[in-house]
Homo-oligomer: A and B are copies of this chain.
Amino acid sequence: MKILITAFEPFGGEKVNPALEAMKLLPDKIGNFQILKLELPTIFYKSIEKVWQYIDEYKPDAVISLGQAGGRACISIERVAINVDDASIADNDGNLPIDQPIFEDGENAYFSNLPIKNMVEAIKKAGIPARISNTAGTYVCNHVMYGVLYKLHKENLNIKAGFIHVPFMPEQVVDKPEKPSMSLENIVKAIEVACNVLA
C-alpha cells in the first residue's frame, strides 16, 4: 500500500514552505504504508500535470496533498475543492488567474474522500489542534486538490485523496508576533497520524 504525499515549493515571498519541510521529514514508511513524496511547483496546471504523471506511474492508494495556510492556528483537513482559480498574488510562474474554472468539464466541486473526521479526531487525540476546513481557498492549493479529485472521478480510480493545510512554522512569524504558528515536529506528527488513519 502506498501513500503519495505532495507539497509545494515556497511562494508568496516566503523562503520556506512548512508543508514541504514537513514532507521532507516524513519517514519512508508509516505503519504498513510506503510513503512516496513529490514536490510540486507552485504554478497553476504545471502542479496538476506533475501529480497526474506521478499517479499514473506509481499508482498510489492514496494522495494527500499538503499546503501552507498562513494565519491559521491549527491543522486543517480540507473537506472540498471548488472549480475556480482566483488568485490574489501571482503564482511562481507569474500566472494570476481571476475567476477561471479549473476544468470546464469538471464538477463545481469535489469532496475529499479521505476519512477527514477521523483524521481530525486522531490528530487531536495526539495533542495537536486540528479541524475540518470548508475552504481550501482559490489559489494553487485548492487547484491541486481539485485537479487530483477531478482525475479520480474522470478515470474512476480507486484512490483516496484530499488536502491538509498546515500553519506557519515559528521561524516564519518571528516578526509577526500576532500570527499563530506550529512547530515543524507537530506538523510532521499530525501528518503521520493522518496517514495512520488510512490503515
In the A-B complex, the 3 residue pairs with the smallest Cβ-Cβ separation, listed nearest first, are A180-B180, A109-B109, A183-B183
Interface string of A120-133 (1 = CB under 8 A from B): 00001001111111
Q: Can you report 11 residue pairs joining A to B where beta carbons are below 8 Å apart? A: A73-B177, A73-B181, A74-B173, A74-B177, A79-B84, A79-B138, A107-B108, A128-B170, A134-B135, A180-B181, A183-B186
Which residues on the B side are within 8 Å of A131 (C-beta)?
Answer: 177
Residue of B nearest to A123 (CB): B174
Instruction: Say yes or no: is A64 at the interface (Cβ < 8 Å to chain B).
Output: no
The tally of residues in A whose CB lies under 8 Å from a CB in B reads 41
On whether the beta carbons of A138 and B134 are closer than 8 Å, the reply is: yes
A82 within 8 A of B: yes
Contact at B84–A127, with CB atoms within 8 Å?
no
Q: In the complex, what residues of B have CB within 8 A of residue A73's CB? A: 73, 173, 177-181
Contact, CB under 8 Å: A174 / B111: no
Query: How distant is the Cα of A185 from the Cα of B73 in the complex, in angstroms?
Result: 17
